[in-house]
Amino acid sequence: MKNTFGQSVAVTLFGESHGPAIGAVLDGLAPGCAVSEEAIRKQLDRRRPQGNTGTHRREPDPFQLLSGVYQGKTTGTPLAIVIPNTSQRSADYENDGAYPARPSHADFAARCKYHGFEDRHGGGHFSGRLTAALVAAGAVALDILKGKDISIATHIARCAGIDDAPLPLEDPAALAALGEMSFPVVDRLAGERMEEAILAAREDRDSVGGILETAVLGLPAGVGEPWFDTMESVLAHMLFAVPAVKGVEFGAGFALADLRGSQANDPLRVRDGKIVTTSNHSGGVNGGITNGMPVTFRCAVKPTASIFQPQDTVDLTTGEETTLHLKGRHDPAIVHRAAAVVDAVTALTVLDLLALRYGTDWMAG
Ligand SMILES: Cc1cc2nc3c(=O)[nH]c(=O)nc-3n(C[C@H](O)[C@H](O)[C@H](O)COP(=O)(O)O)c2cc1C
């Protein structure tokens, strides 16, 4: 089950970066849910490298729905999505038999685990390329949630030390617009400065990281399975599966450590007959269960590991120390492309936890 996640709605991921194809199998969906190929295409386009800030690898991501869909609706049987690899250049990873491990990539760790049987070209099974399959599966989940008035919005809260404006939680149109952007920011000028910083990093043959901030709106109170399958724990599990995510915090997160209880607590009030909190430092989760407020969290995305400066490493063929001079096509930043991936894993997780509470037929009703 190592490549499968979820209890009621489960996703299985397969493929290697330079193999014939990558893909995902989505199991546990109710029959009768609408599946929009256009919506899948839209999410895949958000994840694809775009413009100057992306890698020069062109990934058109043509996908095929192999099973589980009939006349535009789920059948209730496993839904398989396959995305052929069409833009791989394995020659970039051939070094006349030498195998210099790429620092802060999975090369050395995977060698230890798979004893050299791993397909290392382009990062193999560990490549960010596999996130395309996650995004395609997540697009189906996003659409099902949308049908239940549950929406997910992610923006680049910070990139290269430049901050975006806060998420406009009271403005549904502005939140929805983020889902249409390949570089999702609230403040356009901040976004331009971030893109300039990414290009400057590229000029220096370097890379930058950032923070993604996400809000899930419309979730009913009472979702999450304590102790071990809480909304926070299951989301964190999936968010840490996204390559390059190295930190996750919910609500005010690490900042809570510096507050007094009087500052950190979220007071309860009644508004329009509904119990709400007047602040949301808890990120919409108490005791691992949703409280009806937006579920909010932030993911730290590290700078792209593949940089074009010489780097100290070890040749895994000879065991000798060496210097890596990288070839290939790599983004000077990943944070903007990871936004679609975060939305996808969030949708898959939320759908799974909702199905644990309400069953699966609820999805299509
Ligand atoms: C959408 C996406 C694209 C990525 N593309 C690259 C890339 O072009 N170059 C790179 O060094 N890392 C890329 N990564 C990140 C690496 O896959 C990741 O850092 C590496 O596998 C090691 O895993 P870790 O950072 O989680 O430890 C990408 C990640 C995502 C989410």
User: Looking at residue 106, which CATH number applies to its domain?
Assistant: 3.60.150.10
Per-residue model confidence (pLDDT) at position 200? 97
Please report which helix (H) or strand (E) contains residue 274, including its range.
strand 274-277
- Name the pLDDT band for 97 (thresholds 50, 70, 90): confident
Backbone angles phi, psi at 12, to 5 degrees: -115, 135
Question: For residue 49, what pLDDT band results from cuts at 50, 70 and 90?
Answer: confident
Q: Look up tokens 């808890």; give the residue.
A: 282
Ligand 1 contact via 298 beta carbon (within 6 Å): no
Pocket test residue of 334, 335, 337, 345 for ligand 1, highest count of atoms within 8 A of CB: 334
Calpha distance 210→342 (Å, rounded): 13
pLDDT band for 96, please (50, 70, 90 cuts): confident
Which distant-in-sequence residues (6+ apart) come within 8 Å of 254 by Cβ? none
Q: How many A from CA of 363 to the centre of ligand 1?
A: 33
Cα(305) to centroid of ligand 1, in Å? Answer: 7
Share of the chain above pLDDT 90, in %: 88
HSE-CB at 227 with a 13 A cutoff on CA atoms is 0
pLDDT band of 154, cuts 50, 70, 90: very high
Number of domains in the chain: 1
Residue 95 pLDDT class (50, 70, 90 cuts): low
Would the CA dihedral through 212, 218, 222, 224 be positive or negative?
A: negative
Q: What pLDDT does 122 receive?
A: 83
Q: Which atom of ligand 1 lies at the shortest distance from residue 127's CA?
A: 17
pLDDT digits (tens, 9 = 90+) for 316-325: 999 999 999 9
Nearest to 336 by CA among 306, 309, 365, 301: 301
Nearest residue by C-alpha to atom 28 in ligand 1: 128
Ligand 1 lined by 331 (C-beta under 6 Å): yes
Q: How confident is the model over 104-117, as a mean pLDDT?
A: 95
> Which residues are registered as beta bridge partners of 298?
213, 249
Length of the chain: 365
Query: How far apart are the CA of 260 and the centre of ligand 1, in A?
Result: 38
pTM of the entire predicted model: 0.96
Q: What pLDDT shows up at residue 58? A: 56
Percent of the chain with pLDDT over 70: 95
> Which residue, by CA, sits nearest to atom 22 of ligand 1?
105
Domain that holds residue 29: 4-363
Distance 48 CA to ligand 1 centre (A): 13
3 Cα to the center of ligand 1, angstroms = 17
pLDDT at residue 29 is higher than 70? yes
Ligand 1 atom with the smallest distance to the CA of 106 is 22
pLDDT digits (tens, 9 = 90+) for 325-347: 998 777 899 999 999 999 999 99
Residue with the two structure tokens 């990871």: 338
Q: For the residues 336-360, what does the mean pLDDT come to?
A: 97
Closest to 102 (Cα-Cα) out of 202, 203, 2, 243: 243
Residues 182-187 have a mean pLDDT of 96
Report d(CA 260, CA 7) in Å as an integer.
38
DSSP state at residue 220 = P
Place 252 in a pLDDT band, splitting at 50, 70 and 90.
Answer: very high
**For residue 223, how far is its CA from the centre of ligand 1 (angstroms)?**
31
300 vs 2, higher pLDDT: 300
Contacts of 78 (CB under 8 A, 6+ apart): 25, 26, 27, 67, 68
